[in-house]
Chains A and B, each alone.
Chain A
Amino acid sequence: MTKVLGLLLGLLTAIGGFIDIGDLVVEAEVGSRFGLSLAWVVIVGLIGVCIFVQMSGRVTAVSKRATFEIIRERLGPRIGAANLGASFLINLLTLSAEIGGIALSLQLASSVSPFLWIPLAAFAIWLVIWRVKFSVLQNVVPLFGLALVGFGVAVFLLSPDWGALLRQVAQPRVSPDEHVSTYWYFAVSLFGSAMTPYQVTFYSSAAVEEKWSAEQITRSRLNVLMGYPVGALISISIAACAAIVLMPHHVNVSSLTQTVLPVAQVGGVLLLAVVLVGMVAATFGAALESTLASGYTIAQFFGWSWGKFRKPREAARFHLTIIITLLIGIGVLMTGVDPVQVTEIAVVFSAIALPLTYLPILVVANDPSYMGDRVNGRVLNGFAMVYLVIVLVASVAGVPLMIITGAGA
């Protein structure tokens, strides 16, 4: 019974942990402009993130070392530094976006300015990382993020024309009001949002934090393979809500207030409150993960003592990195930049930096000196290679598309 409950908890955690501020902003924007014609990107991104998250977890479980430590050792300091630079900068941008997301979600529930929430949110993140056990941090917060299933409930309550929605998914089209390049810009954004690098860093380091055994790897693989797809469904339902309510009125989503508009329309105050809880939890959970990921990447690259399984004084530089990262995140947001725009930029740059973060994992996962007979199989390598091509194309296309479309304007 305890095992079943443990499995269920892990599954629910994976569902809640899949969604972050990137999904909340970009999915609603995409839904209001393109309907569900970009749902295929979420599916492509989902498969990709499952492949690489699992690979990274397996590398750690077999070698008993976090991915970044091995990457530097295996590929040398130059490529290691490129990998570190790309991952850390994207983490920093993502972290700023997530803190902004917490502040914006709390603003919806309190109408207090997000600029007052930002320092409080960052302090709460630091406090949780400093004081709360890793297992609690990893399981409890994303569990509340599951409240975002309210978007799925809203889709059913809206009683849409299911045939029309399915046609948008199966026969993607660009409406005459939109330019093809804008469609592809949002495709890259959604792909970047689904494959955010911090998830891989966090997952691999979590395997060390919790001293995963082979049995736990199998269970965690099951959680990810079953939980992430449900998370992706919630993600698509955010786009569906916007497609049903906002798209017919040509509304361009530019804030979280518009994301929750369809929920309040059919679910009233109760469903809105549930979704707001989910939004705060999802962004808070993602902020915790991306903050920790920043500490992990730097500490693992430089060979410092790291991890929450150690007392803070035994991993002082790791904790100091986390504090500095949070302060930079606050600084970025306090310049007055719109957190929604930070999110939009973060997801595009995630896509641009993907080859630097995913290629080294693939190289290490194929190295018998680290993996022994547990190197990638042919099928997995085949899928991974296809994904590397997609990742490369998205990476190369990201900046030109951003310039051409005026960041999707």
Chain B
Amino acid sequence: MRSRHATALIRACAVLLGATMVLTGCVTTSGGPPGELQRALQRADSAAFTVQVSFRQLQAGRTLPTTAETTCENMLEQAQTAQHDASTVSVDNAAQHVLRARVAQAIAATASLIVSVQDYLAHTSTASAHRLLAQLGSNRRLLAALHRRLGSSP
């Protein structure tokens, strides 16, 4: 009697675990490789936007230099995570392979721009603030274009 109950319990747990795993697959990896690349782009864009706004605030004297420096540090980590996520996506075909490379490249550019802003804040760069902000803006446009393209890809 006891063993029958135990078997039923094990079965119920297995069903629950199976259902959970299926649901996990539905959500965290939804959209297949294009969906995963889109999420990496989204993360990189969040980082780029945050740095852009914080840097603008610093130029306008609206934030503390320490806060802007911390923002860059945190967002660089985000961009690097996004880059890692994008480059480890398993692709199904050659077209997706090309897209993955372009996404990883665009996110690498985001990370590189954040490092440039960090150099500017540390006074170890000759780049102008205006130019850095413009580059961040164009990088975000590139990320958005790739995001749209992935949205329309099969």
Contact = CB atoms under 8 A, between A and B. Distances in A.
Nearest to A181: B27
A110 B78 CA distance: 21
A294 B75 CA distance: 34
Interface stretch (A193-201, A259-267, A360-368): A259-267
A273 interface: yes
A298 B54 CA distance: 45
Contacts of A249: 46, 49
Interface in A244-277: 249-252, 254-255, 257-258, 260-261, 264-265, 268-269, 272-273, 276
Contacts of B74: 254-255, 257
A269 B63 contact: yes
B7 interface: no
A139 interface: no
Interface stretch (A63-71, A127-135, A229-237, A397-405): A397-405
A406 interface: yes
Contacts of A8: none
Contacts of B75: 255, 257
Contacts of A406: 24, 27-28
B97 to A, nearest CB: 24
Interface string B43-86: 10110011001100100011111110111011100100000000
A118 to B, nearest CB: 15
Given A268-B61, A268-B62, A404-B20, A107 B27 contact: no
Interface in A138-191: 179, 181-182
A110 B64 CA distance: 9
A264 B57 contact: yes
A404 B24 contact: yes
Interface in B71-106: 71, 73-75, 78
A39 B80 CA distance: 33
B9 interface: no
Nearest to B74: A255
B27 A111 contact: no
Interface string B17-59: 0001001101110100000000100110110011001100100
A261 B53 contact: yes
A109 interface: yes
Interface-central residue, A182, A251, A268, A405, by most chain B CB under 10 Å: A251
A108 B53 CA distance: 16
A106 to B, nearest CB: 10
A179 B30 contact: yes
Summarize B's interface: helix, strand, loop or mixed.
helix
Given A268-B61, A406-B28, A108 B67 contact: yes
B115 to A, nearest CB: 16
A403 to B, nearest CB: 5
A179 B46 CA distance: 19
Instruction: Using C-beta atoms within 8 Å of the partner chain, give the interface range for chain B.
Output: 20 to 34
Nearest to A338: B77
Contacts of A109: 64, 66-67
B48 to A, nearest CB: 10
Summarize A's interface: helix, strand, loop or mixed.
helix
A5 interface: no
A379 interface: no
A272 B67 contact: yes
B70 A111 contact: yes
Contacts of B23: 181, 400, 403-404
A268 B61 CA distance: 7
A409 interface: yes
Given A179-B30, A269-B64, A406-B24, A254 B54 contact: no
B45 to A, nearest CB: 7
A260 B20 CA distance: 36
A179 B26 CA distance: 10
Contacts of B70: 107-108, 111, 257
B28 A110 contact: no
Contact of B54 (A107, A257, A400, A404): A257
Contacts of B69: 111
Contact of B46 (A108, A251, A273, A405): A251
Contacts of A110: 66
Nearest to A252: B46
Contacts of A409: 28, 39
Interface of A: 107-111, 179, 181-182, 249-252, 254-255, 257-258, 260-261, 264-265, 268-269, 272-273, 276, 400, 403-406, 409
22 contacts: A107-B70, A108-B66, A108-B67, A109-B67, A111-B65, A179-B27, A181-B23, A182-B27, A251-B49, A252-B43, A255-B74, A255-B75, A255-B78, A257-B71, A257-B74, A258-B50, A269-B61, A272-B63, A400-B16, A404-B24, A405-B27, A409-B28
Please name the 4 residue pairs, one residue from A and one from B, whose CB atoms are nearest each other, closest first: A406-B28, A111-B66, A257-B71, A264-B63
Given A111-B73, A405-B27, 14 more contacts: A107-B70, A108-B64, A108-B67, A111-B65, A111-B67, A181-B27, A251-B46, A252-B46, A257-B67, A264-B54, A265-B53, A265-B62, A268-B62, A404-B26
